[in-house]
Amino acid sequence: MTDQANQLELRYEGVDGYRHYLDGSPVHAGDTLELWKDGQWILGRYEWTYRSETPPAFYISDDN
């Protein structure tokens, strides 16, 4: 899936700084997301430092 709507988008929110959005909805630290990789969906947890120069992290369990 390469559709732009399925990619994280970093938006500037003024006084609140930056936030990632996925398909138009805000993504919050600790949210559970699915990542399409090698023909399958992988369940994981989104984390981010809220610094625009730092990429977000996606934590998965060893069971995936």
Distance of alpha carbon 27 from alpha carbon 24, whole angstroms: 9
pLDDT in tens, 42-53: 999 999 998 888
pLDDT in tens, 4-41: 548 899 999 999 899 999 999 999 999 999 998 898 99
Confidence (pLDDT) at 64: 57
Q: What residues contact residue 9 under an 8 Å CB cut-off, 6+ apart? A: 20, 21, 22
Dig out the tokens for 9 from the structure: 């988008």
Confidence (pLDDT) at 59: 96
- Among residues 54, 37, 34, 36, the alpha carbon closest in space to that of 46 is found at 34
